[in-house]
Structure 1
Amino acid sequence: MTEKELPIDKRPPSVAHIFQERVEATPDREALRYPVPTAGGPDDWHSYTWAETGRRVHAIAAGLMALGVRPEERVAIASGTRVDWILADFGIMCAGAATTTVYPQTNADETAYILADSGSRVLIAEDAAQLAKVRERRSLLPDLAHVVVVESADAVPAEGDPDGWVLSLAELAERGAAHLEKHPNCVKDTIAGQRRDHLATLIYTSGTTGRPKGVRLAQDTWSYMGYTIEAIDMLHADDVQYLWLPLSHVFGKVLLAAHVRIGHVMVVDGRVDKIVENLPVVRPTIVCGVPRIYERVYNGAAMRARAGGAARFRIFQWAAAVAKEYGRVSQENQRRTGRATVPAGLRAKHAVADRLVYGKLRELFGGRVRALVSGSAALPPDIGYFFEGAGLPILEGYGLTESAAASFLNPGLANRTGTVGKAFPGLEVRIGEDKEILLRGPGIMQGYHGLPEQTAEVLDADGWFHTGDIGELSDDGYLRITDRKKDLFKTSVGKYVAPTEIEGRFKAVCPYVSTMLVVGPGRKFCSALIALDEAAIMGWAKENGIPGGYAQVVADERTIALVDGYVQELNSGLQGWQTVKKFRLLPRELDVEHGDLTPSLKLKRSVVEGEFAALIDSMYD
């Protein structure tokens, strides 16, 4: 990827402007593709052109205006990732309103809190389950004038609902069509009146501790993101991008800004259990994801090889080692000489491994992927080198909700695993005295909604956003994240430990791990809680004659001995004070449903430490 000269500083004031420009520029090109389930067979795939997308979006925008929604008023979306989410979001933007995002997994109490705190006037709810959350707490939501339900069959008013309080998305579009007949220029005039500083989105941080905070992102933020992603050449007009990420999360949301600017095909299906099935059908050229997805692909490939017998597993292990070496050497030569060359012997081994292993892996992704993008959490470097060597380069990036997700990204032709790449054009970067990363630029939030004191804690008077992340910036502009400032801890012997670095290394060593949590603040040594990947460890247990369910398997001495071997391998590469002296295997995987992980799969350290406090204490008795 190379930066191109583009008029970033002459960008329009809102993403709605960019959307309108896109519809007018390429009306007949395919914009969105989405699945339609069929009875007992494979999904049908349907598409919208940009012109069809524009008509649907304008109808939703006009429908919201007909309901009385005014510029910068909030309209919430509580839904999984689907094409209707995108149409609704663009409709809200074109109505001049601001989107409040709500994860569909959010419980009723927190959903009500977000809607009340944001002052949302309308909720676009996916189905009856999302409707029920607000219906139960309607007395706490005096500002919520309407609920629009995406699934028409679920848009059923109940006894006690005010007249017109519940309607379907189809009915909203019908009202919009009628409103457009009376006021044909209402949407275009509203778009024309939008300013850069108008509120566009309220994204509530998923909250690893306490109540979530609403991050205020302006219209100009998304306009900037659309233009700057084009400038770094991440996406091309002929790309097919597969989007499964939660759109309530800023990582998914920023991809929509790039989509309208670049005009490529976006294939939308948020069903995580369909990813493996969809990839060979969609045949994407770009896939964005979180590290856990790539870790699972790698571990799944290893487990399938193991299931194929000892010889096949040895071939996979050899090929994996070759891929990692190839990835490291080619990147190092690219850094030193500008050419990603490798020695002839390694090149020959790589060619054999490509025929035996890597080609099959690329086919699992559809055979056309030119790059994978990873964000939201740290990618274990060994995973990155493996995919690089297998011809599926993972471009790691970095950003936060407060910086609209995208602040850094690795250049594709000069990818540097272990870093998050270079800063986006227009973004200023500074490393503080305590090594905290500071950012300033048009992608940074306006502040936390209704929380001036908490805003001042992270956004200083000069406009610098204090990220809370610790990092290092190379002479040529590559950023390496070393840890979260709040996660660093000091042992009782006075040594600082960066737990996420250790956890990332373990994921590269152990193919059975799902999550590792390193603990030890104020203690004499580091210990760890380890959750294993259920599918991987149960497959190993079956091969080794270990009976029972997951909890029984992880309690078995043979499983503990297996993991201990990987822990010792981890420790061999650590400083003495970093080594994990003791560990405990958790009786279940950590997940969103139990509250262990945020919806974007970030670990809630304090929650897990609290739930398993007795296990932690047992390691220090």
Structure 2
Amino acid sequence: MYETYSISDVIQADVRFQPLKEKLAGYVRGSDEYLAELLNELPLNSYPTYKTYLKKQAVPVNKIVNDGNNTIDKDSHYSDVFRNSLSPEKLVTCVDQKLSTGYEHFMFSARRWPENDCLGNRIYDPITSTWSEQYHFETYKQIAERAHAFGSGIMSLVNVKRNKPLKSNDFILAILAHNMPEWVITDLACQSYSITNTALYETLGPKTSEYIMNLTESPVLVFAKSNMYNVLSILPDLEYVNTLICMEDLNESELKSINESLLTKNFNKLNEKISLFSMKQVEQIGKLNSIPLIPPTPETTYTISFTSGTTGLPKGVVLTHQAITSSNAFVLSSMKVPNSKKNKQLYDMCFLPLTHIFQRQTTSYALSMGVGSGFLHKPDPLVLVEDLKILKPDFLSMVPRILTRFESGIKTTLSKSAIQKNIASNIIENKAARFSSHGGTDRSLLNFLLYHRVLIDKIRDSLGLTNGSFIVTGSAPIAKETLLFLRSALDIGIRQGYGLTESFAGICLAEPHERDIGSCGAVGISTECRLKDVPEMSYYAKKDLKGELQLRGPQVFSHYFKSPDETQAAIDKDGWFSTGDVGFIDSKGRIHIIDRVKNFFKLAHGEYIAPEKIENAYLSSCPYIAQLFIFGDPLQTYLVGVVSLEYEGTQNALSRLHPEVLSLSEEKLFDKINNDPILKKDLLLIINRCTEGLQGFEKLHNMMVGTDLLNVENGTVTPTLKIKRIVATKYFRKDLDLLYQQGSLIRVEKL
């Protein structure tokens, strides 16, 4: 654990924040009034001016030794240590000492905004078989009451069965569900009683769930009704479960039928009886037998988040409440709420899976700011835009695949009319030129009186982004062209971040309106970073500021659950966690992820290939490539690949040379590309011209194309879309061999 050091402490210690210090001077530090004013005046990067911060976002802080001729680091295999320029002296663990846990953040919001919308969804009407045309929310006060009641009920049921005191919280609760308000209520119930939780992947199948449940010895599983079959199927193999809780309502008849007929395994390994309850039942039990709250401390383990892993079984990342508050401090120090929206009800769409730490970080921020979180009316990404149009969120977190679909959809819509296309192209090109040359928000009259009225507001409305202030994207690289296009077409800040499960998601976040886009931003105030040499890949930390990115700080995990060997392999004796990602730090202190350690192989002519570097280069430069798996046979001298493409973008790119493709459906287009060497060659040349900085031997010479070829169902990627190279190679082996049999389509062409 790190010594407590808050944003409040930074403000008191650093003369740069004197204006903010003076604004807070009239309040008792730590009081709700003080905290409200502090949150209202953040972010820190506004002091002394935002432009000052943009010039130097992170700075080297380690001690330097001078040998008389050269200034050298104590260890030449590492770069300097970088910290955020807002707090270079010490790493920040929380916003304020009174907000030292995730639970305290939520309860502060419940006190400050008791009637604010907290969690909401659309209601289904079984009579008309329709969903409501508006979101129905429960308030922060109501959610706090439900979370306390549910937590009390869980404690009562689990401990009676374990024959332990009712206040015993020495167990781990498991969650198996898609995103829904009850997911967050369960999480808050755990925080209320200092219960550690873990989330199971709906997409990874029963064996992974069984492994996690037995490893954690979890006695209670809270699940969505849609997972009832999966839960009952693996129940005979779950050794420690004694309590099953369905998030949705079950009537007495349904509960009786399942408990008496379907729970074929009546007792667990410890001879404890297994029973099923509905969430509403458990809440009622909690109200009748109200167990005193057990608030967490910074040291309390908040969650064990299992990485989906590219090889082998998932690893459990142990994250404390200090990790939550460090994360919140980082986000609040750099996330600006527009002045026009301060102290107003804001909304966020809880879209990315809560199983993954990225969405939990976003939701934690939302709960700390009184934001209302909406949920999709059914767990299907295809209804996202429909629900966005109703909720009209102020911000949301996305992944590149969704943003590239937004881009394709906008371009397709605009291309239906020649006049509309010309007008839109002129506006978007003018906006893009302005952002590329100046940066910053566009406050011109031309923008608001013409561009918005003629085009931008219509595009925003069509996607449900009417009220959008910014979008955060992460988990994979995104094309600079996509970032610039969407920023111009939507006139909205898009912030690319970087993080891992081991760092409670994002530890850096690009500024929303920078002129030179493409970075992941500077390391935040709660983490420090450095680069380590990767000589076998020709990356040298001290010389070029390129190397494996290492992290340390209160936002970074301390160990893997029950895996000392894995922990030792990942964290060195000085506490540095090796991410496995190769980064570059630019002159402003911003991080760029450029490669992945160890994923490299040699082709027949002796050249080393780093596939993730190449994949990232294509993904970040070609907007209509959604996924890419690069493969090189060591007996061959060129690369082939499996490429998932966006239909509209690919169709438009090819139509300039082959107008006939405009009449082809998605399935027929990709089938024709795969079977027509001329068409495939022309597409390859278009794609290869997009990339910059790649050598000829690093470019694709043949490929198989389609839609969503790499997916969780066939096991070729993890739920966070990381490629499982061994599995993918085996799965696509026949296709890859066929590509090599066909040979290089572009061998004679200059790349």
On whether the aligned pair clears a TM of 0.5, the verdict is yes
Aligned to 1:387: 486
Counterparts of 2:708 and 2:383 in 1: how far apart (Å)?
Answer: 23
Change (3 A) 1:588 1:551: farther
* Larger CA deviation: 448-457 vs 363-372: 363-372
* TM-score, L = length of structure 2: 0.73
Counterpart of 1:417 (choices 502, 506, 517) is 517
Post-superposition offset of 1:126 = 0.3
Counterparts of 2:592 and 2:692 in 1: how far apart (Å)?
Answer: 23
Quick one: which amino acid aligns to residue 273 of structure 1?
L
Q: Secondary structure at the match of 2:240?
A: coil
Aligned to 1:148: 245
Quick one: which amino acid aligns to residue 366 of structure 1?
L
Counterparts of 2:571 and 2:375 in 1: how far apart (Å)?
Answer: 35
Q: Secondary structure at the match of 1:377?
A: coil
Contact kept? 1:237, 1:263, Cα under 8 Å: no
Q: Secondary structure at the match of 2:135?
A: strand
Partner deviation per Cα, 1:487-545 (whole Å, 9 max, x = no partner): 34444444444444543454466565332222227442232221233576689887335
Post-superposition offset of 1:107 = 1.0
Aligned to 1:582: 702
Change (3 A) 1:484 1:353: farther
Partner deviation per Cα, 1:358-399 (whole Å, 9 max, x = no partner): 333222233221111001111211111112223122100110
Counterparts of 1:227 and 1:295 in 2: how far apart (Å)?
Answer: 30
Change (3 A) 1:29 1:356: closer
Contact kept? 2:135, 2:390, Cα under 8 Å: no
Counterparts of 1:55 and 1:293 in 2: how far apart (Å)?
Answer: 35
Change (3 A) 1:472 1:547: closer
Contact kept? 2:151, 2:190, Cα under 8 Å: yes
Aligned to 1:563: 683
> Is 1:204 matched up with 2:306?
yes
* Larger CA deviation: 155-164 vs 272-281: 155-164
Quick one: which amino acid aligns to residue 663 of structure 2?
N
Counterparts of 2:506 and 2:664 in 1: how far apart (Å)?
Answer: 47
Counterpart of 1:593 (choices 713, 731, 735) is 713
Larger radius of gyration: 2
Contact kept? 1:112, 1:137, Cα under 8 Å: yes
Change (3 A) 1:169 1:601: same
Change (3 A) 1:262 1:292: same
Quick one: which amino acid aligns to residue 120 of structure 1?
S
* Larger CA deviation: 15-24 vs 109-118: 15-24
Change (3 A) 1:348 1:68: closer
> Is 1:61 matched up with 2:151?
yes
Give matches, 1:20-39, under 5 Å. Answer: 20-38=107-125, 39=128
Change (3 A) 1:552 1:228: closer
Q: Secondary structure at the match of 2:352?
A: coil
Q: Secondary structure at the match of 2:124?
A: strand
Counterparts of 1:48 and 1:588 in 2: how far apart (Å)?
Answer: 37
> Is 1:362 matched up with 2:460?
yes
Counterpart of 2:577 (choices 441, 465, 473) is 465
* Larger CA deviation: 74-83 vs 232-241: 232-241
Contact kept? 1:152, 1:170, Cα under 8 Å: yes
* Larger CA deviation: 563-572 vs 114-123: 563-572
Give matches, 1:213-292, under 5 Å. Answer: 213-234=315-336, 238=344, 239-269=346-376, 271-292=380-401
Aligned to 1:337: none
Counterparts of 1:511 and 1:233 in 2: how far apart (Å)?
Answer: 27
> Is 1:481 matched up with 2:593?
yes
Contact kept? 1:322, 1:350, Cα under 8 Å: no
* Percent identity over paired residues: 22
Change (3 A) 1:233 1:170: same
Partner deviation per Cα, 1:75-127 (whole Å, 9 max, x = no partner): 01100011110001111121211111112223112111111112211000101
Counterpart of 1:329 (choices 437, 450, 469) is 437
Aligned to 1:130: 227
> Is 1:89 matched up with 2:89?
no
Q: Secondary structure at the match of 1:52?
A: helix
Post-superposition offset of 1:478 = 0.8
Counterpart of 1:3 (choices 45, 53, 68) is 45
Aligned to 2:136: 46
Q: Secondary structure at the match of 1:483?
A: strand
* Larger CA deviation: 129-138 vs 416-425: 129-138
Quick one: which amino acid aligns to residue 124 of structure 1?
V
Counterpart of 1:447 (choices 545, 559, 573) is 559
- Asked which structure has the greater RCO (Cα within 8 Å, sep 6+), the reply is 2
Counterparts of 2:494 and 2:667 in 1: how far apart (Å)?
Answer: 37
Aligned to 1:110: 208
Counterparts of 1:426 and 1:547 in 2: how far apart (Å)?
Answer: 46
Counterparts of 1:415 and 1:201 in 2: how far apart (Å)?
Answer: 38
Quick one: which amino acid aligns to residue 483 of structure 2?
G
Contact kept? 2:158, 2:243, Cα under 8 Å: no
Counterparts of 1:147 and 1:370 in 2: how far apart (Å)?
Answer: 41
Post-superposition offset of 1:161 = 4.5
Post-superposition offset of 1:280 = 2.1
Contact kept? 2:305, 2:318, Cα under 8 Å: yes
Contact kept? 2:527, 2:556, Cα under 8 Å: no
Post-superposition offset of 1:568 = 4.0
Contact kept? 1:11, 1:227, Cα under 8 Å: no
Contact kept? 2:470, 2:512, Cα under 8 Å: yes
Contact kept? 1:482, 1:498, Cα under 8 Å: no
Aligned to 2:40: none
Change (3 A) 1:480 1:537: closer
Change (3 A) 1:419 1:10: same
Contact kept? 2:362, 2:397, Cα under 8 Å: no
Q: Secondary structure at the match of 2:319?
A: strand
Aligned to 1:405: 505
Quick one: which amino acid aligns to residue 497 of structure 2?
G
Post-superposition offset of 1:150 = 1.1
RMSD: 3.1
Counterpart of 1:170 (choices 280, 283, 293) is 280
Post-superposition offset of 1:65 = 1.0
Contact kept? 2:625, 2:645, Cα under 8 Å: yes
Contact kept? 1:77, 1:101, Cα under 8 Å: yes
Counterparts of 2:520 and 2:455 in 1: how far apart (Å)?
Answer: 27
* Larger CA deviation: 23-32 vs 232-241: 232-241
Aligned to 1:543: 662
Change (3 A) 1:386 1:45: same
Contact kept? 2:617, 2:692, Cα under 8 Å: no
Change (3 A) 1:141 1:341: closer
Counterparts of 1:484 and 1:581 in 2: how far apart (Å)?
Answer: 22
Partner deviation per Cα, 1:330-356 (whole Å, 9 max, x = no partner): 33xx6xxxxx789x9xx9899976665
* TM-score, L = length of structure 1: 0.88
Change (3 A) 1:40 1:28: same
Change (3 A) 1:416 1:427: farther
Partner deviation per Cα, 1:26-51 (whole Å, 9 max, x = no partner): 22222222221233444242111111
Q: Secondary structure at the match of 2:703?
A: strand
Quick one: which amino acid aligns to residue 221 of structure 1?
A
Change (3 A) 1:145 1:476: same
Quick one: which amino acid aligns to residue 142 of structure 1?
E
Contact kept? 2:639, 2:701, Cα under 8 Å: yes
Aligned to 2:64: none
Counterpart of 2:637 (choices 507, 514, 524) is 524
* Larger CA deviation: 218-227 vs 12-21: 12-21
Change (3 A) 1:460 1:313: same
